[in-house]
A and B are shown apart, each in its own frame.
Chain A
Amino acid sequence: MPGHLDRFVASARSRNRLVVQPRMGFGRPEEMREGLRAVAGLGVSAVGTITLDSHTRVGDHTTPLDRLAQGEHLNGYPIVSHPVEVTRELLRDLHGPAFPVQVRHGTAQPQQVFRRLIEVGLDTTEGGPVSYCLPYSRLPLTTAVRAWTESCRYLAGETEEPHIESFGGCLLGQLCPPSLLVAVTLLEGMFFRQHGVRNVSLSYAQGTLGAQDRGALRALRELARRYLGDDGWHVVLYTYMGVFPQTTHGASALIADSARLARQAGCERLIVKTVSESRQIPTVQENLDAVRLAVAAAAETGSATPDGESFQEEVRQEAASLVDHVLALHDDIGRAMVKAFAAGVLDIPYCLHPDNHGRARCVIDDRGALVWASRGNMPLSGSTQPGRAGRVTARELRWMLHHVADSYDRTDGADRPPLPPTTGESHEIIG
């Protein structure tokens, strides 16, 4: 005990409810508590989030308090800088079986964050040795793998039922074919298990095409059963993590579509963005509105008649090939992943980190799907988009980065392709 998150998600699943979670962090304890209290008070199946500020993410624990003292605002809660008692007080009567709170941080060396979240009475966090290093840190991958190994073992030793969500389904947030997202989140889930954290969640970030996303999410569930067994995991979907629509109608439609996607593909949990995402750090009210919007869209959506089978097949084959090749490199999954990136067996498109091979490229094809323009050394079959050879211009890159935002901003949904038919009354979750 506690293990609140896993029980909460299991209970919601049994009641056929999607768990919705905002991404929320404020620098001052009173603001953070107010935000959590407001989410808890919504009366929906919501999980609370303490998102840490970006100074804490890079291990700077003095700047946050200096800046708060000067009246400045932070983009998250500096959990290591604030005293333990302050954060315990913040969580008092809030974090519990009816409202689990998760710490989201973005830290490649998370030992201090893990130590502190245990000290304040929490046992649920997220990230991963690859997903919080290559996209977001300058640290060598070997350092992040060591740090995450130590942190997972520590969390497993100090808490009874810890939970870690892999951020591997996001990577750079956009322009990554789904098979690599699925492979990395599976590998990180297996890594957490190998170091004693049994309960994990596997992530996937909404992409550019619904049918591809539904196929990819179904492939993820199939492969999760293959590599992690039947229980001890669930799938969390992230509302689109790339450039976000600037208009309220565009952002709202994208958030609602992500909730529908979560339902159609049987995801247990959804982490939402807000309508002000493209402009600024969202307020409490904007977070509440986003949660309500997602809950409403999910409630009117049943599980979909399976579509995107060709995408599902492709993602299953590619992701399984990546995972199997990595696992063959070393019994220790952390070391296997380090070797895999060194050899380009895993290669994150566009990632600037020196430990990433940097030869893979992704583009959006005529269907609107995310496809490989260059596979680098990855053990993937298939042909590269004709005439590309992996070269992308600034204008093309900009168009692709803004493709989702622009198409949602352009219309209030009238001329977007209709959603696939749903089974209506049948509200069972595809498991």
Chain B
Amino acid sequence: MNTPLRCVVTTVESDAHAWNLIYLQLLLEERGSIVRNLGTCTPVDLVVAALVEERPDLLVVSSVNGHGHHGVRILLRALAARGIDVPCVAGGKLTVSEADDPWVRRDLIQRGCAEVFVGPTAIDRFQAFLDARWRTGVDTARPSVPALPGRQTGALDQTGVVSCTS
């Protein structure tokens, strides 16, 4: 059994959405990862401090308020300025228009993201990314998930996108 993947889950400072973070924490924990969830509205300094303290294998930034592109750019600059080279992935609804998705993804990868997950298959691609990079061995070992009513979807959509402020 490999060592568990250690992740820090965060969002950007202006984003108050929580469900995406709660969902990602559960998803990662069920894969056998150890997760520190920094919660909503995370200032850059707090993320930096957590990375210095935890030295995780992966930083997961999820944002759904439309300001994620802006926030992730600032975060990447801060990480670079402090010489922190933890792999960083980002995803969710990163600008106010979904038409921006392709160029936003390219832009953030160019600025240092290991991968960016936007659009309807974001979660599937995130899981495939994790599978390709880190095989935890946990998937085969854990008990099967109890059956649930409703759609057992293969094509998961966005990261629990919720628009619930004011």
Report whether A54 and B162 are in contact in the complex, using a CB–CB cutoff of 8 Å: no
The complex places the Cα of A402 from the Cα of B22 at a distance, in Å, of: 14
Within the complex, which residue of B30, B39, B160, B166 is in contact with A51, where a contact is CB–CB below 8 Å? Answer: B166
Interface membership of B52, Cβ < 8 A: no
Report whether B15 and A54 are in contact in the complex, using a CB–CB cutoff of 8 Å: yes
Interface residues of A in 399-414 (CB under 8 A from B): 399, 401-403, 406-407, 410
Interface membership of B163, Cβ < 8 A: yes
Report whether B98 and A58 are in contact in the complex, using a CB–CB cutoff of 8 Å: no
Interface membership of B165, Cβ < 8 A: yes
Report whether A406 and B166 are in contact in the complex, using a CB–CB cutoff of 8 Å: no
CB distance from B72 to the nearest CB of A (A): 14
Report whether A167 and B166 are in contact in the complex, using a CB–CB cutoff of 8 Å: yes
Interface membership of A23, Cβ < 8 A: yes
| Stretch from B77-85, B109-117, B132-140, B144-152 that touches the partner | B144-152
Interface membership of A395, Cβ < 8 A: yes
The bracket for how many chain A residues form the interface is: 35 or more
Inside 8 A of B23's CB, which chain A residues have their CB? 394, 397-398, 401
Report whether B27 and A394 are in contact in the complex, using a CB–CB cutoff of 8 Å: yes
Within the complex, which residue of B67, B93, B164 is in contact with A280, where a contact is CB–CB below 8 Å? Answer: B93
Within the complex, which residue of B16, B29, B42, B157 is in contact with A54, where a contact is CB–CB below 8 Å? Answer: B16
Within the complex, which residue of A73, A353, A392 is in contact with B96, where a contact is CB–CB below 8 Å? Answer: A73
Report whether A352 and B162 are in contact in the complex, using a CB–CB cutoff of 8 Å: no
- Contact status of A242 and B93, CB under 8 A, knowing A172-B19, A351-B18: no
Interface membership of B70, Cβ < 8 A: yes
- Contact status of A106 and B19, CB under 8 A, knowing A394-B27, A402-B157: no
The complex places the Cα of A173 from the Cα of B165 at a distance, in Å, of: 8
| Stretch from A135-143, A185-193, A288-296, A423-431 that touches the partner | A135-143
| Stretch from A220-228, A271-279, A328-336 that touches the partner | A271-279
Within the complex, which residue of A242, A395, A397 is in contact with B164, where a contact is CB–CB below 8 Å? Answer: A242
The complex places the Cα of A406 from the Cα of B156 at a distance, in Å, of: 11
Nearest-neighbor residue (CB-CB) of A75 within chain B: B66
Within the complex, which residue of A105, A138, A205, A401 is in contact with B39, where a contact is CB–CB below 8 Å? Answer: A138
Report whether B16 and A397 are in contact in the complex, using a CB–CB cutoff of 8 Å: no
Nearest-neighbor residue (CB-CB) of B46 within chain A: A138
Inside 8 A of B149's CB, which chain A residues have their CB? 366, 399
Within the complex, which residue of A75, A246, A392, A407 is in contact with B67, where a contact is CB–CB below 8 Å? Answer: A75
Report whether A392 and B148 are in contact in the complex, using a CB–CB cutoff of 8 Å: no
Report whether A57 and B165 are in contact in the complex, using a CB–CB cutoff of 8 Å: yes
Report whether A352 and B21 are in contact in the complex, using a CB–CB cutoff of 8 Å: yes
Interface residues of A, dominant DSSP: loop
Within the complex, which residue of B40, B65, B163 is in contact with A244, where a contact is CB–CB below 8 Å? Answer: B163
Report whether A350 and B18 are in contact in the complex, using a CB–CB cutoff of 8 Å: yes
Report whether B97 and A67 are in contact in the complex, using a CB–CB cutoff of 8 Å: no
Inside 8 A of B162's CB, which chain A residues have their CB? 172-174, 241-243, 401
The complex places the Cα of A366 from the Cα of B97 at a distance, in Å, of: 36
CB distance from A187 to the nearest CB of B (A): 19
Interface centre among B14, B37, B96, B165 (most CB of A within 10 A): B165
The bracket for how many chain B residues form the interface is: 35 or more
The complex places the Cα of A398 from the Cα of B163 at a distance, in Å, of: 15
Within the complex, which residue of B30, B37, B43 is in contact with A352, where a contact is CB–CB below 8 Å? Answer: B37
CB distance from A407 to the nearest CB of B (A): 8
- Contact status of A75 and B96, CB under 8 A, knowing A54-B14, A67-B70, A352-B37: yes
The complex places the Cα of A138 from the Cα of B14 at a distance, in Å, of: 11
Report whether A273 and B22 are in contact in the complex, using a CB–CB cutoff of 8 Å: no
Nearest-neighbor residue (CB-CB) of B42 within chain A: A138
Inside 8 A of B26's CB, which chain A residues have their CB? 392-394, 397
Nearest-neighbor residue (CB-CB) of A277 within chain B: B163
The complex places the Cα of A126 from the Cα of B165 at a distance, in Å, of: 11
Interface membership of A300, Cβ < 8 A: no
Report whether A353 and B39 are in contact in the complex, using a CB–CB cutoff of 8 Å: yes
Report whether B39 and A281 are in contact in the complex, using a CB–CB cutoff of 8 Å: no
Report whether A136 and B16 are in contact in the complex, using a CB–CB cutoff of 8 Å: yes
Inside 8 A of A73's CB, which chain B residues have their CB? 95-97
Report whether B70 and A72 are in contact in the complex, using a CB–CB cutoff of 8 Å: yes
Nearest-neighbor residue (CB-CB) of A399 within chain B: B148
Interface membership of A266, Cβ < 8 A: no
CB distance from B104 to the nearest CB of A (A): 12
Inside 8 A of A396's CB, which chain B residues have their CB? 145-146, 148
The complex places the Cα of A354 from the Cα of B37 at a distance, in Å, of: 12
Report whether B150 and A172 are in contact in the complex, using a CB–CB cutoff of 8 Å: no
Interface membership of B86, Cβ < 8 A: no
Nearest-neighbor residue (CB-CB) of B99 within chain A: A280
Report whether B164 and A399 are in contact in the complex, using a CB–CB cutoff of 8 Å: no
The complex places the Cα of A72 from the Cα of B162 at a distance, in Å, of: 23
CB distance from B65 to the nearest CB of A (A): 5
Inside 8 A of A74's CB, which chain B residues have their CB? 96
* CB<8 Å pairs between A and B, sample of 23: A23-B166, A54-B16, A75-B65, A75-B66, A75-B67, A136-B40, A137-B41, A138-B42, A167-B166, A173-B163, A273-B163, A277-B163, A350-B18, A350-B22, A395-B148, A396-B146, A397-B23, A397-B160, A398-B23, A399-B150, A399-B151, A401-B19, A406-B151
Question: Which residues of B are at the interface with A, using a C-beta cutoff of 8 A?
Answer: 13-16, 18-19, 21-23, 26-27, 29-30, 37, 39-43, 65-67, 70, 93, 95-98, 145-146, 148-151, 156-158, 160-166
Which 8 A-B residue pairs are closest in the complex by CB-CB distance?
Answer: A173-B164, A136-B16, A394-B26, A104-B166, A54-B14, A394-B27, A106-B165, A352-B39
